[in-house]
Structure 1
Amino acid sequence: MSRSKPLAYQSAKAVLEHISFGKRKHLYAICPAIRKMEEILPYHLELVELFSIADCFFLIVDSFKFCFGEYEGNCIIMINLSTAALRRIRLTCLEPKKAVEKFVLYNLSREGTRIKTVDLITGPEFIKKCIPIDIKNLIVKATSEWFPTNIPVENVAVEIPGRIAERINTEIVSEWNRESIRIESWMKSEEVADYCNKVSKRTDSPIGSRLMARHNSPVEFLFDILHSNMNARKTVLNGRECATIAIDESTELNVYSSTDNHHYVVVEVCARGTAVDQV
Structure 2
Amino acid sequence: MKPLTYQCLQMVLQEMSFLKRKELYAKCPAIRKQEERIGYRLNEMIINQSSRQCTIHIENFEVIINNFPKDKTKKCGVIMTNKKTGITVKQSINVDPEEAAEKWITYILNRLNTRIQNLKLYSSPICLLKCDCPMTVIKLTMCVHDEIPEDSGRSSWLKTTVPVKHLEAYTIFRDDTMKAALSVVIPECGPIDGEILSEWQARKIKIYRWIPLEGIIAYCTGLIESGRSIGFRCISWIEKPNMEHDMIDWLAGRLNARKTSRNGIKCCTVSLNDASELNVYGNFVERSDWLIIVVNARGTAVDR
Structure 2 equivalent of residue 212 of structure 1: 235
Structure 1 equivalent of residue 205 of structure 2: 181
1:40 aligns with 2:66: no
The answer as to whether partners of 2:39 and 2:111 remain within 8 angstroms in 1 is yes
**Residue 214 of structure 1 aligns to a residue in which SS?**
strand
- Report the AA paired with residue 87 of structure 2: A
1:25 aligns with 2:22: yes
* One of 278, 281, 289 as aligned partner of 1:256: 281
1:91 aligns with 2:93: yes
The answer as to whether partners of 1:235 and 1:275 remain within 8 angstroms in 2 is no
Q: Deviations over 1:34-78 (max 9, x none)?
A: 333333322222112222466212222222222121131313322
Q: Map 1:189-268 onto structure 2 (within 5 A).
A: 189-202=213-226, 207-218=230-241, 223=248, 226-247=251-272, 251-257=276-282, 261-268=287-294
The answer as to whether partners of 1:52 and 1:122 remain within 8 angstroms in 2 is yes
Q: TM-score, normalised by structure 1?
A: 0.74
- Report the AA paired with residue 93 of structure 1: V
Q: CA RMSD in A?
A: 3.7
For structure 2, list consecutive stretches of 5 or more residues without a partner in the other structure: 70-74, 148-156, 172-187
Q: Deviations over 1:145-170 (max 9, x none)?
A: 5534443433333446xxx9942355
Q: Deviations over 1:191-239 (max 9, x none)?
A: 3333334444556x66544433332223768756753554344444444
The answer as to whether partners of 1:133 and 1:148 remain within 8 angstroms in 2 is yes
Structure 2 equivalent of residue 104 of structure 1: 105
CA shift in 2, pair 1:56/1:227, >3 Å = same
CA shift in 2, pair 1:79/1:42, >3 Å = same
1:273 aligns with 2:298: yes
CA shift in 2, pair 1:83/1:175, >3 Å = farther
Q: Deviations over 1:69-127 (max 9, x none)?
A: 1131313322223333222367251233x433343344334443322222233243564
Structure 1 equivalent of residue 6 of structure 2: 9
> What is the total number of aligned residue pairs between the two structures?
270
1:59 aligns with 2:63: no
The answer as to whether partners of 2:117 and 2:139 remain within 8 angstroms in 1 is yes
CA shift in 2, pair 1:240/1:126, >3 Å = farther
Identity of aligned residues (%): 30
Structure 2 equivalent of residue 76 of structure 1: 78
In 2, distance between residues paired with 1:128 and 1:190? 35
Q: TM-score, normalised by structure 2?
A: 0.69
